[in-house]
Amino acid sequence: MNSMDNTIKERLLAAYAAQQSRTYYAAWPESPRAYAEDGMARGLAVFQALLTQNFTALSQTGSDGWVGEEVSPYMMTGLGIQYPEFSAATLIQQAKDAQQVWGKTSVDQRAAVLLDALDRVAVKFFDIAYATMHTTGQSFMMSFQASGPHANDRAMEVLSMAYHELNRFPASVDWVKNMGKFDLQLKKNYKAVPKGIALVIGCSTFPTWNTVPGLFGSMMTGNASIVKPHPKSVLPIAMVVAEMQAALRAAGYPETVVQLGVDTLANPITKELAENEAVKLIDYTGGSAFGDYIETLTGKTVFTEKAGVNSVILQGATDPTAVFGNLAFAASLYSGQMCTAPQNVFVSADGIDTAEGKMSFDDVVAGIAQAVKGLAENPKMGAGTLGAIQNDITTQRVKSVEAAAGSSVVLASMAIENPEFPDARTASSAVIAVDAVDIAQWKHECFGPIVFVVKTNSHDHSLALAKECAASLGAITCSCYSNDESFMTKVEDEINAAFTPVSFNFGGAAFVNQHAAFSDFHVTGGNPSGNASFTDAQYVNRRFVWVGNRRMA
Amino acid sequence: MNSMDNTIKERLLAAYAAQQSRTYYAAWPESPRAYAEDGMARGLAVFQALLTQNFTALSQTGSDGWVGEEVSPYMMTGLGIQYPEFSAATLIQQAKDAQQVWGKTSVDQRAAVLLDALDRVAVKFFDIAYATMHTTGQSFMMSFQASGPHANDRAMEVLSMAYHELNRFPASVDWVKNMGKFDLQLKKNYKAVPKGIALVIGCSTFPTWNTVPGLFGSMMTGNASIVKPHPKSVLPIAMVVAEMQAALRAAGYPETVVQLGVDTLANPITKELAENEAVKLIDYTGGSAFGDYIETLTGKTVFTEKAGVNSVILQGATDPTAVFGNLAFAASLYSGQMCTAPQNVFVSADGIDTAEGKMSFDDVVAGIAQAVKGLAENPKMGAGTLGAIQNDITTQRVKSVEAAAGSSVVLASMAIENPEFPDARTASSAVIAVDAVDIAQWKHECFGPIVFVVKTNSHDHSLALAKECAASLGAITCSCYSNDESFMTKVEDEINAAFTPVSFNFGGAAFVNQHAAFSDFHVTGGNPSGNASFTDAQYVNRRFVWVGNRRMA
């Protein structure tokens, strides 16, 4: 393909226009109903046929054997899927070879291949949904949306931003400077030179949503890429990589422009890949300790999303019951395993302002606990909202946090019956009421279904603690409920100063957890929860270098 | 001032349009004749009146005393100018206080103040020229252009890029998502939040040109700034900071939004400033060792321009004499003290291709030496082109390099008589012919008037060595002379792959040293000569963070 189809260009420009205006936009509809009617049945069949088999859809040679250790949090059995195993050296060498071609491929050609890849992925949304469900523990609906249309939208957002930035300066220009008696004339050109080999390190809970932005960003800017998934969440991104390789193959490019490098918990290859001199770009999603290590590597450009501690500042509510319901849902969705889930709810010892006057701290705690309990025990809502627990460490954490909290536990975490999967590893959210001074309990990340209601001295104290947490521990979201305009202004100023966004008075179908592609920046890059943002301009600009050449005319 | 004058906006947009199109543009004309007719006389008088006095034009309180140790490379006497001395703690505290105001100042207001500052600086171009001349050793003309219009143009380039990027996303938007039976409506806003306090560390040779891009970049994006000049080159940037403070004062902002922090070689404050937790942005120009240290600081966003080794690949020339002349000028201009000056000229042992057939390696060496000698000894050109040597270490380096080279010295460096300044510290360029294998001689930075003509096995070997130098030691420029299209294509591809620009067949008034604002990126940021580029989008984007807030409509 030598020139880009106009349709492709139009799609990229439409997506770019949307993200510049920040208005609602979806390149792929989020409802499963917009896709094949028999999609669920076929997706399930595809998933089931893959179980206990070798995964052979990848186009990579030189493997040393087969590995795989995924476990379904719903079935609590191993998937038995084995992936080809590659040494770091093999992955790097193949990436270097592929880079010779991909680095010289035009921006238009790269865009055409990568958009084709997203279209191929869209055909597999149902397959990927079941793969996501049975690796992450997300509900089917979240699996479909997060790993399907929402992930594709995030990738499209990056593609369109990169397409704009790569075309930001002219390919060539005649430069003429009048020197008085004559003109000095130079012919100049400008090239966006790819940085090198890219490594994208995935996480266990959002194996495609958190991986494709960096992956498509690096590939669109001309960098051959190696995807290193979490060993417990391989299948969803393996399916995506297989489609990307199919798109490369169809267009006549080396399939190894993107490779999947699967490892095991016992024999990880991430550090060997990350420290390799040829790897110039690293995208990382996961825990802070490893993320901090990634950020210290020299000679690399790194993009991280690490852990944070998200706060809720509860100052007032016109309809407290609605607020508690919204909060309960945000905290319970996927059992608090979203990086955007609220953990600490700061409430003044005085209580909160409501339409019927003050509501006491104790009543607020009771209201939140009741909403969490009601949601968890609702047979139509509980199992579907909470999903399953991805990692047993999370289950253990809930138990140890509860044990340490003792009588502060207002609502204990419970296993939730899932009629479809009786063996599912489930846990509803624990609600724990603590005093602000007990920082050992609440002032650190407690990943999973744990909500602390923290008693503060005042609303301003609540704000100060939320800000301090965001600045020192990182935060991806902050939620504030208030009916006091001047307080809200102060909250916005102070929390924004810690480079954290605030969502005010969310109710109904609006949840703080959800960041919309093309409109909401995901992670700001300004606090310890990560150094990068989906998707500002530097998220793509830092993946290549502008080089200009001059020639005497 | 509540809204921006339309003229200001038009000037910013015109500058932005020029840098996007990369065509010739100058916001300030480069010829002194475009300014006051009596400018030179008045500038000299201003400079002379400042000698041996306390510099009182700064609006900063809380100083601990007076320091100053500048020496004129032309007069070889101390200037005797004393600047107020501030502790790092005082500078930081004042910056924090000023940041409270500046961080909340609108983009339009910041732009108005900073453009006013540049207009005020333009009135002082002649004063700044003499200050530059007698601190750096640049000729008057280079001092005028580099510290005057060219520096202002580079600052304007950053201002206009930042103005565009800061307005890239809407201040607010109504976001509406159709959920089937109802619309989910959110009011969103987007804020470009400044990162914090900025530190700008200047160098001795280009005290304003290399300082103002980062300084205006940080200030335009809302960060209160501290300028830490080189102790031997304070006066030019002190004059600029004084004008910036005047513009702030005139508009009613705290003058300490920008501060000058002068130190001494014996008691430097740079590390204390750089390591302070409140300092979030650092711009640095100078040697690689300190620059590498700056790059390792955690929790900071840093922009560096360090040292490099610039190459010339001499494959062929239609008119060798013209090429040698151009090369001699590029190497001699300001005695090789430009970061863009060529150091190593790679020539195949076979010689070069000319219109009259092969010219031998020895003849090439002789031709280059003759051109360098002719320029240096030309009474109308020599002193004005070479200027003076800023630092005695450079003079000593020339001597020790020549001593080590022994019989390889083809043309020894000479002191050049400057009729106006008989005591001037001058040194013409030494020309040394070496074999490529003698890497101890040529394969490291030799800052100053030293040119190595390196004998290689072939033109391809010349290319390989130039590329390897750029990749491992860094390079800001690369020059290539060739009449072979396929070789030039190869040179462009290979040298660009080391993130280094190439200038082909420069002659006449085109010199590889000169990077034009609005058109030529200065430093690519992709090789060890620096991690930043004047001016790509990330040069401004990394100085602030996008934060979006959402509110239930």
**Rounded average pLDDT over B317-333:** 97
Cβ pair B216, B193 in contact under 8 A: no
The torsion angle over the Cα atoms of residues B140, B141, B144 and B145, rounded to 10 degrees, is -150
DSSP for residue B177 = E
Q: What is the DSSP string of B346-357?
A: EEETT-EEETTE
**Rounded average pLDDT over B132-159:** 98
Please report residues of B whose CB lies closer than 8 A to that of A507. 552
Is residue B453 scored above 60 in pLDDT?
yes
Distance from CA of A87 to the nearest CA of B (A): 27
Give buried/exposed letters for A143-167 (b at 16+ CB in 10 A, else e): bbbbbbbbbbbbbbbbbbbbbbbbe
The dihedral sign for the CA sequence B509, B514, B516, B521: positive
Give buried/exposed letters for A74-98 (b at 16+ CB in 10 A, else e): bbeeebebbbbbbebebbbebbeeb
Report pLDDT for B553. Answer: 84
Q: Do B506 and A191 touch (CB under 8 A)?
A: no
Cα distance between residue B115 and residue B284, in whole Å: 23
Give the model's confidence band at A553: pLDDT under 50 very low, under 70 low, under 90 confident, else very high.
Answer: confident
DSSP for residue A82 = B
Say if strands A544-552 and A183-194 run parallel, antiparallel, or are unpaired.
Answer: antiparallel
Is residue B244 scored above 90 in pLDDT?
yes
Cα distance between residue B155 and residue B209, in whole Å: 8
Cα distance between residue A394 and residue A448, in whole Å: 6
Report pLDDT for B92. Answer: 98
Choose among A23, A525, A551: nearest Cβ to B173.
A23
Please report residues of B whose CB lies closer than 8 A to that of A176. 23-24
Is residue B201 scored above 90 in pLDDT?
yes
Please report residues of B whose CB lies closer than 8 A to that of A517. none
Choose among A177, A179, A502: nearest Cβ to B549.
A502
Cα distance between residue A191 and residue A300, in whole Å: 21
The closest of A59, A56, A394, A84 to A264, measured between CA atoms, is A84
Report pLDDT for A21. Answer: 98
Please report residues of A whose CB lies closer than 8 A to that of B22. 169-170, 173, 175, 188, 190, 548
pLDDT digits (tens, 9 = 90+) for A195-215: 999 999 999 999 999 999 999
Residue with tokens 């501690």: A309
State the CATH architecture for A311-504: 3-Layer(aba) Sandwich (3.40)
Average pLDDT value over all residues in chain A: 97
Tell me if the domain spanning A6-306+532-552 has CATH number 3.90.600.10. Answer: no
Long-range contacts of A290-296 (CB under 8 A, 24+ apart): A291/A530, A294/A201, A295/A531, A295/B298, A296/B298
The dihedral sign for the CA sequence A298, A303, A307, A313: positive
Is residue B458 scored above 80 in pLDDT?
yes
Choose among A496, A516, A536: nearest Cβ to B191.
A496
| A90-94, A166-170, A278-282, B59-63: range with lowest mean pLDDT | B59-63
Residue with tokens 């937790």: B277
The CA angle B520-B526-B531, to the nearest 5 degrees, is 90
Tokens of A27: 């390149």
Q: Give the count of alpha carbons within 13 A of B287, CB side only.
A: 8
Q: Tell me which H or E stretch contains B450.
A: strand B450-456
3-state DSSP call for residue A488?
A: helix
Cα distance between residue A6 and residue B76, in whole Å: 67
Q: What is the DSSP string of B490-531?
A: HHHHHHHHTT---EES--TT--TT---TTTS-BS-SSSTTBS
Report pLDDT for B6. Answer: 83
Choose among A507, A526, A547: nearest Cβ to B193.
A526
Say if strands B183-194 and B544-552 run parallel, antiparallel, or are unpaired.
Answer: antiparallel
Q: Do A190 and B503 touch (CB under 8 A)?
A: no
Q: Tell me which H or E stretch contains A409.
A: strand A409-411
Q: Do A537 and B537 touch (CB under 8 A)?
A: yes
Q: What is the DSSP string of A238-269?
A: HHHHHHHHHHHHHTTS-GGGEEE-B--SSS--
Cβ pair A216, A127 in contact under 8 A: no
Cβ pair B88, B247 in contact under 8 A: no
- Compute the residue count for chain A: 553
Is residue B506 scored above 90 in pLDDT?
yes
Among chain B residues, CA nearest to A494 = B193
Cα distance between residue A138 and residue A209, in whole Å: 13
Distance from CA of B459 to the nearest CA of A (A): 19
Tokens of B157: 């380039």
Please report residues of A whose CB lies closer than 8 A to that of B298. 295-296
pLDDT digits (tens, 9 = 90+) for A385-436: 999 999 999 999 999 999 999 999 999 999 999 999 999 999 999 999 999 9
Best residue in B326, B488, B536 for a mutation probing chain A (most A CBs within 10 Å):
B536
Distance set, CA B151 to CA A149, B30, B31, B201 (Å)? 48, 10, 13, 16
Choose among B510, B516, B537: nearest Cβ to A541.
B537
Where are the strands (E) in A225-375, listed by range?
225-228, 258-260, 279-285, 301-305, 311-314, 316-317, 344-348, 352-354, 357-359
Tokens of B542: 């990394």
Please report residues of A whose CB lies closer than 8 A to that of B490. none
Distance set, CA B301 to CA A194, B220, B282, B520, B538 (Å)? 22, 16, 6, 24, 11
Report pLDDT for B2. Answer: 42
Q: Do B550 and A504 touch (CB under 8 A)?
A: yes
The CA angle B288-B289-B295, to the nearest 5 degrees, is 80
Q: Of all residues in chain A, what percent carry a pLDDT higher than 70?
A: 99
Is residue B209 scored above 60 in pLDDT?
yes
Please report residues of A whose CB lies closer than 8 A to that of B165. 537
Q: Tell me which H or E stretch contains B176.
A: strand B172-178
Report pLDDT for B4. Answer: 64
| Cα B62 from chain centroid (whole Å) | 31
The closest of B347, B342, B340, B339 to B313, measured between CA atoms, is B347
Tokens of B192: 């470009």
Cβ pair B192, B221 in contact under 8 A: yes
The dihedral sign for the CA sequence B516, B518, B524, B529: positive
Q: Do A195 and B526 touch (CB under 8 A)?
A: yes
pLDDT digits (tens, 9 = 90+) for A459-471: 999 999 999 999 9
Is residue A6 scored above 90 in pLDDT?
no
Distance from CA of A67 to the nearest CA of B (A): 36
Residue with tokens 């390591």: B275
The full set of domain ranges for chain B reads 6-21+36-306+532-552, 311-504
Q: Do B195 and A526 touch (CB under 8 A)?
A: yes
pLDDT digits (tens, 9 = 90+) for B79-90: 999 999 999 999
- Say if the ipTM goes beyond 0.95: yes
Give the model's confidence band at B5: pLDDT under 50 very low, under 70 low, under 90 confident, else very high.
Answer: confident
Q: Do B175 and A524 touch (CB under 8 A)?
A: no
Q: Give the count of alpha carbons within 13 A of B267, CB side only.
A: 11
**Rounded average pLDDT over A297-323:** 96
DSSP for residue A333 = G
The closest of B509, B542, B310 to A553, measured between CA atoms, is B509
Distance from CA of B422 to the nearest CA of A (A): 32
Q: Of all residues in chain B, what percent carry a pLDDT higher than 90?
A: 98
Cα distance between residue A241 and residue A258, in whole Å: 7
Cβ pair B547, A524 in contact under 8 A: yes
**Rounded average pLDDT over B115-119:** 98
Choose among B22, B193, B509: nearest Cβ to A190.
B22
Burial classification of residue B483, based on how many CB atoms lie within 10 Å of its CB (0-12 exposed, 13-18 middle, 19 or more buried):
middle
| Cα A310 from chain centroid (whole Å) | 15
Domain range B6-21+36-306+532-552, its CATH number among 3.40.605.10, 3.40.50.970, 3.40.190.10, 3.10.20.30: 3.40.605.10
Cβ pair B213, B535 in contact under 8 A: yes
Q: Do B186 and A510 touch (CB under 8 A)?
A: yes
The 3-class SS string of B61-122 reads CCCCEEECCCECCCCCCECCCEEEECCHHHHHHHHHHHHHHHCCCCHHHHHHHHHHHHHHHH
Q: What is the pTM of this model?
A: 0.97
pLDDT digits (tens, 9 = 90+) for A60-110: 999 999 999 999 999 999 999 999 999 999 999 999 999 999 999 999 999
The dihedral sign for the CA sequence A249, A252, A254, A256: negative
Report pLDDT for B1. Answer: 40
**Rounded average pLDDT over B416-435:** 97
